[in-house]
A and B are shown apart, each in its own frame.
Chain A
Amino acid sequence: MIEIEALTKVYGTARVRAVDEVSLRVGAGSVFGFLGPNGAGKTTTIKMLAGLLIPTSGRVRLAGFDVARQRSAAMAQLGAVLEGSRNVYWSLSAWQNLMYFGRLKGLRKARVAERAEDLLTDLGLWKRRNDKVGGFSRGMQQKVAIAVALISEPPIVLLDEPTLGLDVEATRTVKQWITEQARELGTTVLLTTHQLDVAQELCDRVAVMRQGRLVADLPTRELLAGFRERDRYEIRVEGAAPPGFDAVTREGVTTMSVRVRDPREVYDVVERLRAQGAVLESLTQVQPDLEDVFLTLVNEPTDA
C-alpha cells in the first residue's frame, strides 16, 4: 500500500510549488493511474515516493514504512522504472544488470540468480541474457528495466511512462505484465502515462494532477460515470443532412453528434429529425472515455 499525506515540494527561491498538499492512498494489489499534463508534478511526486527527492513537507509511506525515517525498509518495498532515463546499464548484459540491481536491494547472489532466470525467461530474453543491453531494441531495454524493478519481488512498483516509445507488441507485453503483477501477485502498481487508453484499460483508480494539485482521485468507473451528464449520442440517418444539425455526410449516410444533459432530450431530437423526413439508421450513446474526462479536468479554469 502507498500512503501519501499532504505531500508538498517547493523549489528554489521563486518558491514554485511543484507539488501542493497531495494526499493519496493506493490499496494493495491495485493499478493506480497518475495522470496529468507535462509539468503537473507527477514525476516530482514519483521521485519523492522513490526517495530520490526530499519533500518540503508531508509524508510518504510504502507498505507502512516511512520513506524519510525508515529509508532502508521502505526501499526494500519498492521497484521503479523512471521516465526519461536509462534505468539500466547499457554496457552490461541483461543478466549482469539484474544481478547488480538485485544485490543492491540486499538480496543474496543465489536468490537474485534464481529470480533473474525466472524474469528473463518470462520476458523472452533468456537466450540473449549475456548480450549487452545497449544492443537491444527500445522494447527489450524497457523489458529489462521492468525486470530490474521486479527483481526483488517488491510489493510496490512505480512505473513512470512504462510504454513510452514502445511499439504495439512491446506495449501489449508491458500491459499484460502490469495486469499480472497486480491481479495475480498482489503487487501495488502506480503508473503515470500520457497514453490515456492504456490508463483506462489498466487502472482500477485514477488520479489527475494539475499545477501540482490533485483535481480528481476516483475509481476509474466512478470517474467516467461522473461525466455522464455530458453524454454524447451519435445519430446516423440515411441521405443528406437535415437542416439545423451539424453533420458529416459520407457515402449516403449522415452522422450527427448530439450532446444532451438529460437522456430524455434524445426523444426531442429524434422527433425533430422525423418531422424533417429523415430516416433513422442508428442511434448510439457515446460514453465519455478517459481522454474526454482528462481534457475536461485539465482545461477547467482554476481558482487562482
Chain B
Amino acid sequence: MHEVLRAEIGKGLRVQLAHPVGHVITLLISTMMYLGLQFVLGQGELRQDVLPQTLVAIGGYWFLQYAGLVMVADLIEERRAGTFAQAQMTTAPPWLPMLGRLITSSVFGLAVAGVAAVVPMLVAGITVPLRWAALLPAVLLGINALAFTFLMAALALVSPMVGALQSLFTSLVLLLNGSFLPLALYPDWLAVAARVLPTTLGVEALAQALFEGRSLARLWSGGTLPWLLAHTLALTVVAGLLFVRNHRRALQEAS
C-alpha cells in the first residue's frame, strides 16, 4: 500500500516537473495578480486595513485553483493518452493512486499559494501574526479545498468537460471567498451564498484566529468552526461517494 502511494506521488511530481514552464508562469501570475487587484480596488493605493485578510483568502484561492487544475488536467490527459488505464491495473484499491494524485496536486497548490502570499507580504509589508489557534482552521481549509479537488477529479472520471465546471467554481471562489474584500464587508445574503463555496468558511475561520485573536473555543462557540467542519465533512463525503459511483460507471461504460 505504502509502496503504491509513494510510487504515485513520485511519478506525479516527476511528470509535473518535466514541464516546468506552466508552473513558473502560474507563480508569476499569482504574485502579480493579488497586488494588482488590490491596487485597483483601492483606487490607486494598497489599503492596509484589508490587505492581511484578503491575503489569506487569495492564498486559499490559489491552493484550490492550482491543486484542482493539476489534478483534473492530469487526469483528463492520462485518460486520453492511456496511461490511466495502464495504472488501473494495480494491485492496490483504486482510491489509493487517487490519494497519491491528490497529495501531488496539493504540493503544487501549496507552492503557488505560498508564493502568492509571501511575495505580497514582502513587497507591501503585510504582517500576518502567527497563532497556534490558526493551525486547525488552516488544516481544515486545506482539506476543504482538496475535497473540492477530489470532487472535480471524480467528475473527470466520466466527463472530460469537467474543466468548464471547474473554471466556473474557481472563478466564483475568487470573486466571493474574500480575495477582493473581507467577508465582513459583504451584504448578509451574499456572505451566506459565499459560505457555500469551498474555502470561504476556512478563510473566515483562519482570519478570525489570526487577526481577531480568537481561540478555538471561541471559534467553536461562534459557529465558524462547526460550520467549517460540517462543510468540509459534507464535501469529503460527497466527493468520496461520487468517486465510488463514477469509478464504477467508468468501468461499465469504457469503450
B18 touches A132 (CB 8 A): yes
B82 touches A84 (CB 8 A): yes
B254 touches A88 (CB 8 A): no
Q: How many angstroms from the CA of A109 to the CA of B88 in the assembled complex?
A: 19
Question: Which B residues touch A78, using CB under 8 A?
Answer: 89
A100 touches B254 (CB 8 A): no
Chain B interface main SS type: helix
**Chain A nearest CB: distance from B2 CB in Å?**
10
Q: Assuming A91-B19, A96-B14, A106-B91, is B3 touching A82 (CB within 8 A)?
A: no
**Chain B nearest CB: distance from A9 CB in Å?**
9
Question: Which A residues touch B18, using CB under 8 A?
Answer: 91-92, 132
Question: Which B residues touch A76, using CB under 8 A?
Answer: 91
Asked whether A189 is an interface residue with its Cβ less than 8 Å from the other chain, the reply is: no
Q: Assuming A11-B255, A52-B254, A91-B15, is B85 touching A104 (CB within 8 A)?
A: no
A86 touches B82 (CB 8 A): yes
Q: Assuming A53-B252, A53-B254, A106-B4, is B88 touching A92 (CB within 8 A)?
A: no
Asked whether A282 is an interface residue with its Cβ less than 8 Å from the other chain, the reply is: no
Q: How many angstroms from the CA of A280 to the CA of B141 in the assembled complex?
A: 91
Name which residue of chain B comes closest to A78, CB basis.
B89
Question: Which B residues touch A75, using CB under 8 A?
Answer: 89-91
Interface centre among A11, A12, A54, A108 (most CB of B within 10 A): A54
Question: Which B residues touch A105, using CB under 8 A?
Answer: 90-91
A85 touches B85 (CB 8 A): yes
B3 touches A100 (CB 8 A): no
- Which residues of chain B from 29 to 82 have a CB within 8 Å of any chain A CB? 81-82
Question: B7 is contacted by which of A50, A52, A103 (Cβ under 8 Å)?
Answer: A103
B11 touches A96 (CB 8 A): yes
A103 touches B4 (CB 8 A): yes
Question: Which B residues touch A91, using CB under 8 A?
Answer: 14-15, 18-19
Q: How many angstroms from the CA of A107 to the CA of B91 in the assembled complex?
A: 10
Asked whether B131 is an interface residue with its Cβ less than 8 Å from the other chain, the reply is: no
Question: Which B residues touch A227, using CB under 8 A?
Answer: none
Question: B82 is contacted by which of A51, A85, A132 (Cβ under 8 Å)?
Answer: A85
Question: Which A residues touch B90, using CB under 8 A?
Answer: 75, 104-106
Name which residue of chain B comes closest to A56, CB basis.
B252
B7 touches A104 (CB 8 A): yes
B86 touches A80 (CB 8 A): yes
Question: B86 is contacted by which of A12, A73, A88, A108 (Cβ under 8 Å)?
Answer: A88
Q: How many angstroms from the CA of A246 to the CA of B4 in the assembled complex?
A: 66
Q: How many angstroms from the CA of A283 to the CA of B87 in the assembled complex?
A: 55
Name which residue of chain B comes closest to A100, CB basis.
B11
**Chain A nearest CB: distance from B80 CB in Å?**
9
**Chain A nearest CB: distance from B207 CB in Å?**
39
A72 touches B15 (CB 8 A): no
Asked whether B218 is an interface residue with its Cβ less than 8 Å from the other chain, the reply is: no
**Chain B nearest CB: distance from A89 CB in Å?**
6
**Chain A nearest CB: distance from B84 CB in Å?**
9
Asked whether B10 is an interface residue with its Cβ less than 8 Å from the other chain, the reply is: yes
Question: B254 is contacted by which of A47, A89, A99 (Cβ under 8 Å)?
Answer: A47
Known: A12-B253, A53-B254, A100-B7. 18 other contacts (CB 8 A): A11-B255, A44-B255, A50-B85, A75-B89, A82-B82, A82-B85, A85-B81, A89-B83, A96-B11, A96-B14, A99-B7, A100-B10, A101-B87, A104-B8, A104-B92, A106-B3, A106-B91, A108-B3
B residues near A (Cβ < 8 Å) are: 3-4, 6-8, 10-11, 14-15, 18-19, 81-83, 85-93, 97, 248, 251-255
Question: Which 10 A-B pairs rank lowest in CB-CB distance, beginning with the nearest?
Answer: A85-B82, A103-B7, A91-B18, A104-B90, A106-B91, A100-B11, A86-B81, A54-B251, A72-B91, A86-B82
